[in-house]
């Protein structure tokens, strides 16, 4: 297979043609930069924080956001949930990456905030509530990323969500009739501007997981591809496999889902205005859907466990 642009050997077959290494790298970077510009993800006045785990998506988002900003400074924020023999490795890779690329890295440990690592908290909470580690991890990560991005002065929070993540979330919300959650998706996350929320933006919104993996490989980023010991093949994995199966048979399926969704997103956001205002947690003062936020509810379960 040869590149449609230069006749060199192709490394990927895309819907609109085949691309060699150099043309793929250009295509990928231009797509990310175009997304940032088209959806006004980053303003020149913004202080940018990139949420990073050391995985392929967040490293790519970090690298390309830095490339887009040029000399303007940004910082990376990593949450250490406390998962032995897993997070230490990804953090080590992340530290090396940040050192090499001259990025300030801030690491926030769940243990410092909640007095427990995920390894310690999970069995205690699970015993009482049957909650899975990913439920706890998700609540903690969202809470800490927003809180510390804001504390460190960020006005924009870049995440590594890609086209596959988004297509899966859209389909999961449709299957479960979660219109309210869908209204929070899109290249710019969230329903409304709110002073306690740092607006989350997704430069990789139109990049597939395969393209992102290929970009990392061709750029020789050191990424740990080990699996989180708590990773489970749950509902999302089923939706992911279904979409990949469709994509293999009918190329363009995932992009089609995204395009359709973006057409109705303004309507979803308008409808969601009726769902009521964001509350402030009575215990910690962070934004919450209920009187008490999910992170404080988990802490309560730990204390009473």
Partner 1 sequence: MELVIKREREQSREKISFSGKTVKELLLKLKLNPETVLVVRKEEVLTEDELVKNKDEIEILSVVSGG
The DSSP-derived string for 70-116 is TTS-EEEEEEE---TTTHHHHHHHHHHHHHHTT-EEEEEEHHHHHSS
Options 213, 262, 271, 297; binder of partner 1; rule CB under 8 A: 213
The CA distances from residue 9 to 4, 35, 246, in Å, are 10, 28, 27
**Residue 250 CB burial class (10 angstroms; 0-12, 13-18, ≥19):** exposed
Q: Is 13 in the site for partner 1 (CB under 8 A)?
A: yes
Among 71, 225, 276, 304, binds partner 1 (CB under 8 A): 225
Minimum CB distance to partner 1, residue 154 (Å): 24
Question: Among 265, 295, 126, which Cα is nearest to 189's?
Answer: 265
- Does position 226 interact with partner 1 (CB under 8 A)? The reply is yes
String of contacts with partner 1 for each residue 117-156, x by CB under 8 A: -----------------x----------------------
Residue 277 touches partner 1, criterion: CB under 8 A: no
Strand partners, 188: 201
Q: Is residue 255 at the binding interface for partner 1, with CB under 8 A as the rule? A: no
Minimum CB distance to partner 1 smaller for 258 or for 281: 258
**Residue 193, interface with partner 1 (CB under 8 A)?**
no
Q: Can residue 87 be called a binding residue for partner 1 (CB under 8 A)?
A: no
Sheet strands side by side (includes 48-51)? 104-109, 74-80, 48-51, 156-158, 199-201
Q: How far apart are CA 252 and CA 154, in angstroms?
A: 36
Strands 279-280 and 287-288: antiparallel
Rank residues 41 and 223 by Cβ distance to partner 1 and give the closer one.
223
Q: Which of 227, 263, 274, 277 binds partner 1 (CB under 8 A)?
A: 227
Q: Please tell me the distance from the alpha carbon of residue 28 to that of residue 63, in angstroms, as a whole number.
A: 13
Among positions 189, 244, 255, 272, the unique one binding partner 1 when judged by CB under 8 A: 244
Interface residue with partner 1 among 57, 81, 119, 286 (CB under 8 A) is 57
Q: Which residues bind partner 1 (CB under 8 A)?
A: 1, 10-13, 18, 21, 55-57, 134, 209-210, 213-214, 217-218, 225-228, 230-231, 240, 244-245, 247-248
């Amino acid at each position: 297979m040869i590149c449609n642009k230069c006749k060199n050997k192709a490394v990927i077959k895309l819907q609109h043609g085949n691309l060699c290494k150099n043309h793929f790298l250009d295509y990928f970077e231009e797509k990310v930069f175009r997304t940032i510009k088209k959806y006004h993800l980053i303003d020149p006045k913004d202080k940018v924080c990139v949420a990073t785990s050391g995985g392929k998506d967040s490293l790519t988002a970090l690298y390309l956001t830095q490339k887009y900003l040029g000399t303007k400074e940004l910082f990376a924020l990593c949450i250490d949930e406390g998962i032995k023999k897993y997070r230490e490795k990804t953090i080590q890779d992340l530290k090396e990456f940040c050192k090499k690329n001259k990025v300030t890295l801030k690491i926030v440990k769940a243990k410092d905030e909640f007095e427990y690592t995920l390894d310690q908290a999970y069995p205690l909470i699970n015993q009482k509530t049957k909650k899975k580690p990913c439920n706890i991890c998700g609540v903690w990560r969202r809470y800490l990323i927003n809180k510390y991005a804001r504390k460190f002065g960020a006005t924009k929070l870049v995440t590594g969500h890609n086209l596959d993540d988004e297509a899966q979330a859209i389909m999961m919300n449709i299957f479960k009739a979660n219109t309210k959650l869908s209204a929070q998706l899109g290249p710019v996350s969230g329903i409304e501007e709110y002073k306690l929320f740092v607006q989350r933006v997704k430069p990789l919104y139109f990049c597939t997981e395969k393209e992102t993996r290929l970009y990392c490989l061709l750029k020789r980023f050191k990424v740990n591809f080990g699996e989180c010991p708590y990773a489970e093949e749950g509902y999302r994995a089923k939706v992911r496999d279904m979409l990949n199966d469709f994509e293999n048979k009918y190329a363009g399926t995932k992009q089609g889902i995204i395009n359709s969704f973006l057409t109705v997103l303004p309507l979803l956001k308008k409808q969601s205005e009726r769902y009521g205002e964001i509350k402030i947690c009575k215990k910690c003062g962070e934004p919450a859907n209920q009187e008490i936020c999910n992170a404080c509810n988990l802490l309560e379960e730990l204390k009473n466990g």
